[in-house]
Amino acid sequence: MLVVTNNPLLCSEPNALFVDGSFRDVLVKVRDLVYSGYELVTHPLFASLGMMFSPYRTVVLGESCGRASDYEMELVENAIVTYDQATEGRVRFAEYDEDYAWMDRSLYQSALEDQGLVLNRY
C-alpha cells in the first residue's frame, strides 16, 4: 500500500509518499504512479465540490503490478481535467486549511475502514 498525500497530518503515516505541493500535484503524482503500474485503491477525487477546494488530498494506491490499467489511467486523467475545471478562476481561501486537513484525514481513515480487509494484503 502506498499513501500519496500532501496532508501534513499524514506525512508520518506508514507507507506515506509525501508530496510537497498542491492537491493537483498529488493527482499528477498519482497519475504517474498509475501509469507505471500501481493500482488505484481509492478514487483520486472527493465526492463533493466542497472538498474539491481542499488544499490537501490523500490517495491510496495498492502495489505495483508492472502493468497499467486502461480504466485507471483514464480515470486519473479525467480526475485532473475535472479538478482543473472545478477550481479554475478561484482565489484560494486559506482560513480553513486546518479543517480541510482534518477532513481529508478523516475521509482517508473511513476509506481504510471500508477496505480494511483488502488493504491487509498489501
Partner 1 sequence: MKLEQGLVYIKDVVGGSENSVKDGVLTVDVEGLKAHLLEDPKVKAVEVDFAKPGDHTRIVPVKDVIEPRFNFDRVNGFPGMTVKYNECGNGRVNVLRGAAVVTIGDAVGFQEGVIDMWGEGALWTPFSKTYNIVVDITPIDGVDPHEHETIVRMAGLRAGTYVGLAAENATVDETKVWELGPAKEESEKYPDLPKVAYVQMTISQGLLHDVYMYGVDVKEIIPTWFHPNEELDSAIVSGNCVAACDKITTYQHQTNPLTEDLYEQHGKTINYIGNILSPELTTLDGKFRNCDYTAKLCEQLGADGVIVSEEGYGNPDSDLVMICKRLENRGIKTALVTDECSGWDGTSQPLTDTAPEAVAVVSSGNVSKVIELEPADKVLGNLKAAETVAGGWAGCVGDDGSLKVELNAVIGATSEIGYHNASVKLY
Residues that bind partner 1 (CB under 8 A): 40-53, 60, 72, 75, 78-79, 81-82, 85-86, 88-93, 95-96, 98-100, 102-103, 106-107, 109-111, 114-115, 118
As measured in angstroms, the least distance from the Cβ of 98 to partner 1 is: 8
Give the cell for residue 117. 480487509
* Of 17, 18, 97, 5, the residue nearest 44 (C-alpha): 5
Identity of the residue, 20 or 90, whose beta carbon is nearer to partner 1 in the bound complex: 90
What does the alpha-carbon distance between residue 55 and residue 53 come to, in Å, rounded to a whole number? Answer: 6
As measured in angstroms, the least distance from the Cβ of 18 to partner 1 is: 21
How many other CB atoms sit within 10 Å of the CB of residue 103?
Answer: 17
